[in-house]
Amino acid sequence: MVKDFISLADFTADELMHFLNLADELKAQKKAGIPHPLLNGKTLALIFEKPSLRTRLTFQVGMYQLGGTTQLIDTRLGERESVADVARNLERWVDGIMARTFAHKHVIELAEKASIPVINALTDKLHPCQILADVQTLREHKGKDLSSLKVAFVGDGNNVFHSWANFVSRLPLNLTLVCPEGYEGDPEIIERVRKETRAEFVITQDPEAGLKDADAVYTDVWASMGQEDEAAERAKIFAPYQVNSTLMGWAKKDALFMHCLPAHRGAEVTSEIIDGPNSVCFDQAENRLHAQKAVLATLMGGVS
Ligand code: CP
Ligand code: NVA
């Protein structure tokens, strides 16, 4: 297995299954009150260039539950000193680094220059921790045979979508992106996933066609962190892609609604849908804790 958790495409299908199964196991142990101090005495450094609620809290709580601790660093990488020097300092003190950055290349550089594991906690390009938790949630609600399921991702072909695409390039699960023209995501990722996936991988501008037979409808904000200046223009472009009762009506009757959060009610999703009976967004948020504990325990030496 590779040293770092940067992209889901860096892992084999078996390795991704290992993370998912371990996440289930750690969740069950937590619920049963069984301690699991797999990272006793270890420290994880948390680097945040962008805001966070879920990621920050789940890494802090997760390390605590694994018997370790965290140290928070609010910084912009590459400004005060080089990314390489940050890596070479941190590896002398801590056992792992989690980083949320703007530039994806900074997480890659940290991983290349540090001898300790580096975990990608969101970049402008990818958000792999989120998708691991999302798939854990999907398995809980729809069963473990992912290959028979279809996820329709409605909205921007962004970091969250890219990580979904990377996931389906390794483990078959049918994925459709429903987006306005020009928001289909990174062409390099899309082309590679098209070649590598064994499932259906579709990109369409037509919500009705894209949502047909979907077992889960997923959306995310229209303007991601760092795109605030484009928010007004994007609000107009994405308006036909709001997940509301009309759109959900085109998916399967029992389709789940999924959102990585934070959500903007009245923009990408209506309150009726996100607060409705098929919404599992808080299960997704809960599972960030368990999925990331599986990654931490594996990469930082707690389990083989
Ligand atoms: N979904 C997610 O990563 O949430 P935060 O931005 O609050 O960490
Ligand atoms: N695409 C969003 C995800 C937030 C968790 C962003 O990057 O802001």
pLDDT in the model for residue 46: 98
Alpha carbon distance 162, 122 (integer Å)? 11
Query: Does the structure show a pLDDT above 90 at 75?
Result: no
pLDDT in the model for residue 303: 76
Query: Does the structure show a pLDDT above 80 at 304?
Result: no
Please, which contacts does 83-86 make with residues 24 or more away whose CB atoms are closer than 8 Å? 83/109, 83/110, 83/113, 84/109, 84/113, 86/47, 86/110
Percent of the chain residues past pLDDT 90, beyond the cut: 98
Residues with catalytic annotation? 100, 127, 130, 220, 260, 288
What's the pLDDT tens digit per position in 217-274? 999 999 999 999 999 999 999 999 999 999 999 999 999 999 999 999 999 999 999 9
The architecture CATH gives domain 8-127+285-301? 3-Layer(aba) Sandwich (3.40)
What's the pLDDT tens digit per position in 176-218? 999 999 999 999 999 999 999 999 999 999 999 999 999 999 9
What's the pLDDT tens digit per position in 105-130? 999 999 999 999 999 999 999 999 99
- Token output for 227: 């795109």
* Mutate which of 130, 131, 220 for ligand 2 pocket (most atoms within 8 A of beta carbon): 220
279, β-bridge pairs = 257
Alpha carbon distance 123, 125 (integer Å)? 5
pLDDT in the model for residue 6: 98
Query: Does the structure show a pLDDT above 80 at 279?
Result: yes
Task: List the chain domain ranges.
Answer: 8-127+285-301, 130-280
Confidence category of residue 58, pLDDT binned at 50, 70, 90 = very high
Domain 130-280 classification at class level: alpha beta
Distance (Å) from CA 35 to ligand 2 centroid: 32
Query: Does the structure show a pLDDT above 80 at 27?
Result: yes
Q: Do the domains at 8-127+285-301 and 130-280 have one common CATH topology?
A: yes
